[in-house]
Structure 1
């Protein structure tokens, strides 16, 4: 269901100064209405640390877990105990300390480790979805480990032995080197199939489509909470990073990084099967301070309601609901940041279809309404044309208000610069929704082949003013096309309003859409950097980061968690780090209107130049930004399309 901005925005009531007849106001960036309910608290004085890629984040996570004295709470979309969490060295697995070893070490010295993973258990309708998403490599034993000469024998054997120990608490033996660990607790959860969840999603989806989203819904969160019972030492993480080898990379995004691992260690790059695992981009936020209260609330409620049949240790604070009760005694006033607070306001947001929580989507709607200078969106799935419609609608209202109420001429109103960084859709079935969203921003030509098909359908579709001869001609040309099930997605896209770059210019919205590539140091060969990030920055005063993609699934259905904050100095530093990492010197400078305007123009120039390097396979890339494009046309597998009303789990997001 689309958020109602009238219920999100706080009405402005500010006193006017008698001396100058002016009022001092601040723009609303967080969900203040939600704060009033007692959940999603907007808290002051938190300390945040920002990490680019797993190579920066996971060693910090390792250090914090190693220091734990009471508890380690993890929610994972997927957990691979064989993933190296520490700083990596060498080219052969293991290249550092394995995540599974780390958890066993702290558990064996008395720290309670709770691992909560999404998994549709054996016999569940979407059991296959978990396997396709590789969310629990090695468990259950989906493929037997027999060939000791196979290069992946050691890593597979480790995974299966670790999971056998975690799930069954087997005693140590020659075939199982792990020691029984009573402090390691594992639970799993899958979304229940309940009728009330049919309220999720956009209004134009059919009930079957909504149910399809629900039935392949996942718990997609990835937060960590450490030592909440010791407030002065407590720390947490909110991130998009999965605890799987696939998602490990460095900010350099080297063409073929030995530290990332071989193709057989994770999901091989289909476009580059002879190379190692593909480059991945993502972020993490380390949190100290009062924001941990909502991270704890999120974890304890989920833990108490999760399936317990995977947990071989029954003495975990007794009956259901007990972890929530146990944590109630923690003195929240002592949750002070050990380092100087550096973010003025922080809020934890979620998507939870069971309770109807769609605060992440509400936040995206709010910020899209409030931004006046720039929006930066870096997201794995840019598939939400309702958001694109909102952007244009709110901009139109802004222009009308400035013209009618402030007397501003259209040419004097500063443009809104929109930077969008996304990957090529990883599955054919994701092409239509991606196309619809970028086409709604006047950029449909960047998916040229699909766009040409959409235009052809528009030309073949009978119009209200067509004469008989024109109707007959269109009919003859459309035979075998308009009724082809393979082209249903294009037909649907053709029904949507046409938006051009000129339309966007009239609204004063300057849009660029980029993807990221890296290049071999020795040759002209290039390779895509897969974007797994879920980051939004606005006007150098707001950010949100977490597990939620900009698609219907993350905004309405899957279990998600994000952190949002406001602080100009901290967010400007974040923006400059991100932009300089992917665009070199084009980091936006001081963030002024002029600097952002010039940066936007220069990004487009650099992206176009880099696109020629990728296409022609000559020359050198200048940083990583490349003009977004996708050369696929017909959706060859319509059964996995987001519009398809059959129940296929391939659309599960990672």
Structure 2
């Protein structure tokens, strides 16, 4: 199946037999994904925001000494314990073994603006360099099987905002260079090696080993969009989509005893939807490989890269997966895809595929009884409007929203963008409260133990806003929507402007009443710590269980769900007239 010329890989709902298997938390997701990689025969195609090569399946890095472990779990197994298990392989080992077997491993790591988001840029290139080391250690006749690229979104701001933003960009460049550390810092050479796209903006040292200095004559650009999807395709027959990256910070088990508690959901797919994922990956690889080579060459012209550039040829075909026996699970892949906008005043990219927003609107407008949403953000005014209109149109419709206590502070602390995002979320939640009244419930997830008393690096950026009721907040990173136990949407897309129109996203819309109700019950059983049975309304029981647990001490709670106020969900909210709504 060749990639489509239009850039749209999403079919209408396909009723051919398929398989959709929800996966909860990193421990379960990593194990299922690793099993699929171990069984791969032809190809492993991965596109992630973050992949930590030396992360083992039990969530510990294998090249470094593990830090203080979390609370021990009962019945620990590989991938289900917070204590390190030396028998668990690392992702680097799993992927290298696949390449040695003759499997072609292609990976797209998301790259970031090196000036605006330098820490994420260095993380991406650190992983790239490590994967290149792994490739170079393979037998010579197997190295071409291991192909990696760091892909930065092509959209840049237009000439006018670029010109006006030069003072700010140069200030951020100075900050990015300073973040590399002082010259005497023994870790500085590694940080500098990871900052590959900063090299063209640095003057050469005046003396050997001397300090690197910003090149202030540079006319700097800004790249506001990113590739946010998390997907994998094995042999064109098995696919994975969800909100989870392969990263130490994301690792947690169903017991949520991690030092950095985290909740995420993914799905394992078989059948026609996998073909859509495969076409999407082929389009991205083919469209982005030339730009990656150009940027790699530009960096190498200023400083030795120190690693070999993996082979990265255009990918021209994908595999049409075989039919899967069993009940027909209807579904389709939906995407957000954007590109560079040729405009003097462009602040963001041009929309190319808006399947995510269209799917969210359709699901909301077709809901009649129950809507369940858990997401990292609920900031989109469009989504809030669709929900409010449907709540007023359908007097029996009830809405549950599960959000984290506080958002990730990407870019450093409570900056203007993070505060403006909180402002948008406050406006959205107030609108829902007014439209639904008592039919609206806002909740979060908390651990069932007191916060650990240590200064582990994983907790370095956590503050008072990340704890409540005597326990840590479980960071809600899942992107799930369930309507009337009939249709579910699971993927990488948040309910904010970025995911609906700016960043690259992939999700699955799953229409299968039997499968969706089982998914909702399994998800709630994990959240509430008990099954919901009998004839009582499940939403009433959710409210009762959450309120009861909110009155209990952490160790006495049966589940993780507690009510949350709008004010608590929007700490540090402040409007900014300089931050476009769709960029947060």
Tell me the TM-score normalised to structure 1 length: 0.61
Structure 1 contact 165–178 (Cα < 8 Å) conserved: no
Paired residue secondary structure (1:63): helix
Structure 1 contact 42–347 (Cα < 8 Å) conserved: yes
Mapped pair 1:108 → 2:100: yes
Q: What is the alpha-carbon distance in structure 2 between the residues aligned to residue 66 and residue 432 of structure 1?
A: 45
Judged with a 3 Å threshold, the aligned counterparts in structure 2 of structure 1 residues 109 and 95 are, in CA distance, closer, same or farther, namely closer
Mapped pair 1:624 → 2:560: yes
Deviation at 1:49, TM superposition (A): 1.2
Mapped pair 1:181 → 2:146: no
Counterpart position of 2:326:
340
1:416-565 equivalence runs, <5 A:
416-426=397-407, 427=409, 428=414, 429=419, 430-442=421-433, 499=434, 504-505=436-437, 510-520=439-449, 525-565=470-510
Q: What is the alpha-carbon distance in structure 2 between the residues aligned to residue 567 and residue 634 of structure 1?
A: 35
Paired residue secondary structure (1:92): coil
Paired residue secondary structure (2:422): helix
Counterpart position of 1:227:
235
Paired residue secondary structure (1:182): helix
Q: What is the alpha-carbon distance in structure 2 between the residues aligned to residue 95 and residue 530 of structure 1?
A: 28
Mapped pair 1:52 → 2:52: no
Q: What is the alpha-carbon distance in structure 2 between the residues aligned to residue 361 and residue 618 of structure 1?
A: 38
Counterpart position of 1:16:
none
Deviation at 1:417, TM superposition (A): 1.3
Mapped pair 1:305 → 2:287: yes
Mapped pair 1:216 → 2:220: no
1:196-215 equivalence runs, <5 A:
215=223
Deviation at 1:630, TM superposition (A): 6.9
Deviation at 1:171, TM superposition (A): 5.8
1:610-649 equivalence runs, <5 A:
610-613=549-552, 620-629=556-565, 643-645=576-578
Structure 2 contact 372–482 (Cα < 8 Å) conserved: yes
Paired residue secondary structure (1:607): helix
Q: How many residues align?
A: 445
Q: Deviations along 1:7-37, whole A, 9 cap, x unmatched? A: xxxxxxxxxxxxxxxxxxxxxxxxxxxx9x8
Mapped pair 1:74 → 2:66: no
Deviation at 1:301, TM superposition (A): 0.4
Q: Deviations along 1:485-511, whole A, 9 cap, x unmatched? A: xxxxxxxxxxxxxx3xxx534xxx711
Structure 2 contact 528–561 (Cα < 8 Å) conserved: yes
Q: What is the alpha-carbon distance in structure 1 between the residues aligned to residue 482 and residue 382 of structure 2?
A: 19
Mapped pair 1:601 → 2:533: no
Equivalent in 216, 227, 242 of residue 239 of structure 1: 242
Q: Deviations along 1:498-550, whole A, 9 cap, x unmatched? A: x3xxx534xxx711011011212999952211111000111111001000001
- Report which of the two structures shows the higher radius of gyration computed on alpha carbons: 1
Q: Deviations along 1:105-141, whole A, 9 cap, x unmatched? A: 11122111001011036xx54452624xx8537357x
Q: What is the alpha-carbon distance in structure 2 between the residues aligned to residue 47 and residue 379 of structure 1?
A: 24
Q: What is the alpha-carbon distance in structure 1 between the residues aligned to residue 447 and residue 83 of structure 2?
A: 20
Judged with a 3 Å threshold, the aligned counterparts in structure 2 of structure 1 residues 570 and 563 are, in CA distance, closer, same or farther, namely same
Deviation at 1:392, TM superposition (A): 2.3
Paired residue secondary structure (1:79): coil
Q: What is the alpha-carbon distance in structure 2 between the residues aligned to residue 64 and residue 635 of structure 1?
A: 41
Q: What is the alpha-carbon distance in structure 2 between the residues aligned to residue 357 and residue 348 of structure 1?
A: 12
Q: What is the alpha-carbon distance in structure 2 between the residues aligned to residue 297 and residue 386 of structure 1?
A: 29
Tell me the TM-score normalised to structure 2 length: 0.68
5+ long unaligned stretches in structure 1? 1-34, 141-159, 199-213, 229-233, 258-276, 400-412, 443-498
Judged with a 3 Å threshold, the aligned counterparts in structure 2 of structure 1 residues 368 and 647 are, in CA distance, closer, same or farther, namely closer
Counterpart position of 2:511:
566
Structure 2 contact 242–492 (Cα < 8 Å) conserved: yes
Deviation at 1:394, TM superposition (A): 3.2
Mapped pair 1:364 → 2:303: no
Structure 1 contact 77–135 (Cα < 8 Å) conserved: no
Q: What is the alpha-carbon distance in structure 2 between the residues aligned to residue 646 and residue 67 of structure 1?
A: 46
Deviation at 1:95, TM superposition (A): 6.3
5+ long unaligned stretches in structure 2? 1-5, 59-77, 161-221, 297-306, 340-350, 453-468
Q: What is the alpha-carbon distance in structure 2 between the residues aligned to residue 364 and residue 633 of structure 1?
A: 22
1:26-105 equivalence runs, <5 A:
39-44=10-15, 45-85=17-57, 87-88=78-79, 91-92=83-84, 96-105=88-97
Paired residue secondary structure (1:364): helix
Superposed structure 1 runs of 4+ greater than 4 Å apart: 169-172, 177-180, 194-198, 310-316, 521-525, 630-638
Structure 1 contact 540–575 (Cα < 8 Å) conserved: yes
Q: Deviations along 1:130-173, whole A, 9 cap, x unmatched? A: 24xx8537357xxxxxxxxxxxxxxxxxxx6x34515xx5468x
Judged with a 3 Å threshold, the aligned counterparts in structure 2 of structure 1 residues 69 and 395 are, in CA distance, closer, same or farther, namely same
Structure 2 contact 147–311 (Cα < 8 Å) conserved: no
Paired residue secondary structure (2:143): coil
CA RMSD of aligned residues (A): 3.6
Judged with a 3 Å threshold, the aligned counterparts in structure 2 of structure 1 residues 219 and 312 are, in CA distance, closer, same or farther, namely same
Judged with a 3 Å threshold, the aligned counterparts in structure 2 of structure 1 residues 287 and 125 are, in CA distance, closer, same or farther, namely same
Q: What is the alpha-carbon distance in structure 2 between the residues aligned to residue 353 and residue 129 of structure 1?
A: 24
Deviation at 1:278, TM superposition (A): 1.4
Deviation at 1:622, TM superposition (A): 3.0
Q: What is the alpha-carbon distance in structure 1 between the residues aligned to residue 333 and residue 235 of structure 2?
A: 19
Q: What is the alpha-carbon distance in structure 2 between the residues aligned to residue 52 and residue 510 of structure 1?
A: 27
Deviation at 1:315, TM superposition (A): 5.0
Q: What is the alpha-carbon distance in structure 2 between the residues aligned to residue 298 and residue 197 of structure 1?
A: 30
Q: What is the alpha-carbon distance in structure 2 between the residues aligned to residue 39 and residue 527 of structure 1?
A: 39
Q: What is the alpha-carbon distance in structure 2 between the residues aligned to residue 79 and residue 73 of structure 1?
A: 13
